[in-house]
Amino acid sequence: MNEISILDIISPIMVGPSSSHTAGAVRIGLLVRNIYNKKIKKVKIILYNSYAKTGPGHGTDKGIIAGLLGFNVDDTIIKDIFNTPEASKLEYIIDWEESFTRHPNSVDFIFDDMTISAKSVGGGEIEVDRINDFSLSINGKYNVLVLVVKDKPSTLARIADIIQKNDINIASINCDRYARGKNTSCCIALDGDIKNSAIEEIKKEINPCLIRYINKLGQ
């Protein structure tokens, strides 16, 4: 049986007229901030389809920027985010596009060294579905360990063994690869908080191309 959160039943406490276009946008910005995990100085943002058509009226652009800057969905500063000292220090461009291949409420974040794609699926619920060229699924409800590793036998089992030795339950695992023997991305959702020592052990054991620990969003 799938778990149902309070956000699945009622809309979140928020600033703005729309749970998808405003609260969802803020939560996307917050999650992308957690994924990028370093000071954001410059970013290009592309809003698609419904986000592009009705987003300005619903404050989608404001929500995205507010989330990137670390403000929560109920912060009244969102309405005037573009005029804040925090926003003045961020170099950003916001574009609006139509694409039949993209979800109605989708957005790309293009940094100098990373591209992150996300979407708002309704009721304030969100999903980051791509980092660079790898598909994955991060909804902000769990702490997540993201890795890019060489596709070799037993690699995933070795990662899972280290996690479980640290008494952390794995909620889900999502993997994507270019081809057999090539790089593979793994997105491992965790019920608990993994220690830095465990992450260092994983680094030593499998020598990943990328490893990043992403904290879940506050509820």
Digit-coded pLDDT (tens) for 116-163: 999 998 878 899 999 988 888 899 999 999 999 988 889 999 999 999
Nearest residue to 213 (alpha-carbon basis) of 168, 180, 182, 179: 168
Res 92 pLDDT > 90: yes
Q: What is the C-alpha separation between 95 and 35, in angstroms, rounded?
A: 22
Res 16 pLDDT > 70: no
What is the residue extent of each domain of the chain? 8-132, 143-214
pLDDT at site 17: 43
pLDDT at site 219: 55
Res 20 pLDDT > 90: no
pTM, rounded to two decimals: 0.84
pLDDT at site 1: 45
The reply to whether CATH 3.30.1330.90 applies to domain 8-132 is: yes
What's the rounded mean pLDDT across residues 201-210? 92
Res 19 pLDDT > 60: no
Digit-coded pLDDT (tens) for 98-117: 999 999 899 999 999 999 99
CATH of domain 143-214: 3.30.70.260
Res 11 pLDDT > 90: no
Res 95 pLDDT > 60: yes
Give the DSSP H or E segment for 110.
strand 106-110
Res 179 pLDDT > 70: no
Tokens 């030593």 — which residue?
Answer: 204
Res 60 pLDDT > 70: yes
Res 36 pLDDT > 90: yes
Res 177 pLDDT > 50: yes
DSSP 8-state assignment for residue 163: H
CA 2, chain centre distance (Å):
21
Q: Which residues contact 106 (CB under 8 A, 6 or more apart)?
A: 47, 48, 49, 51, 117, 118, 119, 120
What's the rounded mean pLDDT across residues 168-190? 87
| Alpha-carbon radius of gyration of the chain | 18
Summary mean pLDDT of the chain? 87
Res 180 pLDDT > 80: no
CB atoms within 10 A of CB 161: 13
pLDDT at site 200: 96
